[in-house]
Structure 1
Amino acid sequence: MSFTTALREAAYRPREMFLDAGSRKGTRALAREILMMDAADYAAAFRGSAIKRATLWMLQRNACVVLGNIGTHKDLALLEAMLVHEHEVVREHAAWAVARLGRHPPQ
């Protein structure tokens, strides 16, 4: 017996960018996408979404943590770009991720 029903309300469907986020590869890709966003990209991607309670820099901080945990050396350049982010917390988490990935051999 299943207690689930098909989703009928379009407002509650997941955004396109989250559809593959359940896999390690998808999570890494989503983190990279968030780090590459600017304010306009963020506003467009999350228009009408409650996730906008978290600001872009907060999501970027989290994306640095994600890449520090599951990223590869291919993510280093993007993380290094975050070392000059306007928010200190993002810079700190980017530095942590860069140091962490630098200790692991290339994948």
Structure 2
Amino acid sequence: MSFTSALREPTFAAREMFAGSDSREGTRALAREILMMEPADYAAAFRGSAIKRAKLWMLRRNACVVLGNIGTHKDLAVLEAMLVHEHEVVREHAAWAVARLGRHPPQ
């Protein structure tokens, strides 16, 4: 028995940037995209969305945690770029993720 049904209200459809993020690689790609996103791109991607209550720096902090947990050495460059972010919490989470990935062998 399935408890899901086809989406009937297009308003609730996933945003284009989330397409494919239901896989591990897709999630990593989305996290990298958030870390590299410019503020204007963030505003455009989430225009009219409640997610804009979360500021870009908050999503970047979360993206660092995602990559720290499921990232690979291929993600180190984008994480290292966050080591100089203006928000201390982003820098701290980026440093944690870099250290965590550094303890794992390259994949």
Identify the TM-score tier after normalising by the shorter chain: over 0.9
Residue 55 (structure 2) aligns with:
55
Residue 39 (structure 2) aligns with:
39
Query: Within 1, Cα distance between the matches of 2:101 and 2:5?
Result: 42
Deviation at 1:27, TM superposition (A): 0.5
- State TM-score, norm by structure 2: 0.94
Residue 75 (structure 1) aligns with:
75
Cα deviation 1:56-90 (Å, max 9, x = unaligned): 00000000000001101011111000000010000
- State TM-score, norm by structure 1: 0.94
Find out whether 1:96 has 2:72 as its counterpart: no
Residue correspondences, number? 107
Query: Within 2, Cα distance between the matches of 1:31 and 1:82?
Result: 12
Runs of at least 5 residues in structure 1 that lack an aligned partner in the other structure: none
Query: Within 2, Cα distance between the matches of 1:26 and 1:77?
Result: 18
Runs of at least 5 residues in structure 2 that lack an aligned partner in the other structure: none
User: Which is further off, 6-15 or 65-74?
Assistant: 6-15
